[in-house]
Amino acid sequence: MEAVGPQERLLDRGATAVAHPNIALIKYWGKRDERLIIPYVDSLSMTLDVFPTTTTVRLSPGARADSVSLDGMPASGEPKRRVIAFLELIRELAGRAEPAVVDTRNTVPTGAGLASSASGFAALALAGAAAYGLDLDPTALSRLARRGSASASRSIFGSFAICHAGRGEGAAADLGSYAEPVPVPDFDPALVIALVNAGPKAVSSRAAMRRTVETSPLYQAWATSSKADLTDMRAALRGGDLEAVGEIAERNALGMHATMLAARPAVRYLSPATLAVLDSVLQLRADGVPAYATMDAGPNVKVLCHRADAARVAETVRGAAPGCSAVTARRGPGARLRPGAGQ
């Protein structure tokens, strides 16, 4: 084998990571520190086995600036700015200065309006840390991913994970806000994702959160009740009780959307198609099928149900609104490096 000089080795330095999105059963909504991305509330989610993001970070010591591509196209604007700011953070932690080439590929159907920031920043944190030689344990990695997007901290882990809001301010808050697994080995439900065709979202989740915290008279009430929801959720998960898990998840999500509707001006992500799908979920329950809805910063609905009922639930939501499609997910794996690739 030919000897490789230090410069060539550095040029070759890269890593590829794969991460999956997660759906919160207890939502994160609102930041108490926008720079460090510290949430107001704890959140709890299920990582999915669909729609992975694959990200390669390769160091480029000769380059003058970072280069970022998303789904094979050069990134620009806000997405590019966020990736570069995240690379800056990794470089600061690693004490390194070389620019990087970042290539990110999402598998979410184009225009589906499903948030990919959770899988995106989880994959970027893992690939970036490996490429810059940062040795981080999963807790530290989740803390890092949180700086990209708080929900990304949970995608570091598979199955169910909790993101702690942390206490105090500044460095103490940063240290205390991380995700960790919530082991529930026997709970393996289906999550049917109803993709409603509703165009791009009008308000980013970042802007919507800020407006809700600053102006919604319902925000504090929801944040307080969310604490009780989390306690109840942990017990329901321990008991493997799908009906209790679903009821708590649904009330927590509807409460979160109520805070937004009461913001000034209101933030409304729920479209007529969303409401039609919610009605179909109520009808399923009336027909004896345990099915429960949750919604994020967009019009899509995710329906929690038993695996044995997933086909019927998918068929029902597809028929609920014109153009509605459905993808059935189960719990999925945590973020991982792809061996050999990009290295």
Contacts to ligand PMV by CB under 6 A = 24, 27-29, 43, 115, 117, 149-151, 205, 296-297
Nearest CA-CA partner of 10 in 87, 62, 56, 69: 62
| DSSP of 99-146 | -EEEEEEE-SPTT-----HHHHHHHHHHHHHHHTT----HHHHHHHHH
Q: Of 177 and 316, which CB lies nearer to ligand PMV in the complex structure?
A: 177
For the CB of residue 297, give the shortest distance to ligand PMV in the complex, in Å.
Answer: 5
For the CB of residue 176, give the shortest distance to ligand PMV in the complex, in Å.
Answer: 18
Q: Of 27 and 143, which CB lies nearer to ligand PMV in the complex structure?
A: 27
For the CB of residue 333, give the shortest distance to ligand PMV in the complex, in Å.
Answer: 18
For the CB of residue 184, give the shortest distance to ligand PMV in the complex, in Å.
Answer: 18
Q: Of 7 and 81, which CB lies nearer to ligand PMV in the complex structure?
A: 81
For the CB of residue 321, give the shortest distance to ligand PMV in the complex, in Å.
Answer: 21
Q: Of 29 and 132, which CB lies nearer to ligand PMV in the complex structure?
A: 29
Within 10 Å of residue 182's Cβ, how many Cβ atoms?
19
Residue 159 burial (C-beta neighbours within 10 Å; 0-12, 13-18, 19+): buried
Q: Of 29 and 187, which CB lies nearer to ligand PMV in the complex structure?
A: 29
Q: Of 27 and 58, which CB lies nearer to ligand PMV in the complex structure?
A: 27
CA separation for the pair 234, 130 (Å, rounded): 33
Q: Cα separations (Å) of 227 from 34, 107, 159, 292? A: 21, 33, 21, 20
For the CB of residue 22, give the shortest distance to ligand PMV in the complex, in Å.
Answer: 7
Q: Which residue has tokens 């479209």? A: 271
CA separation for the pair 302, 62 (Å, rounded): 45
For the CB of residue 192, give the shortest distance to ligand PMV in the complex, in Å.
Answer: 17
CA separation for the pair 80, 156 (Å, rounded): 22
Q: Of 17 and 297, which CB lies nearer to ligand PMV in the complex structure?
A: 297
In 3-state terms the chain splits into helix, strand, coil percentages (rounded to 5) of 40, 20, 40
For the CB of residue 115, give the shortest distance to ligand PMV in the complex, in Å.
Answer: 5
Contact 26, 44 (CB under 8 A): yes
Which residues, 6+ apart, have CB-to-CB distance to 63 below 8 Å? 98, 99, 101
Q: Of 113 and 189, which CB lies nearer to ligand PMV in the complex structure?
A: 113
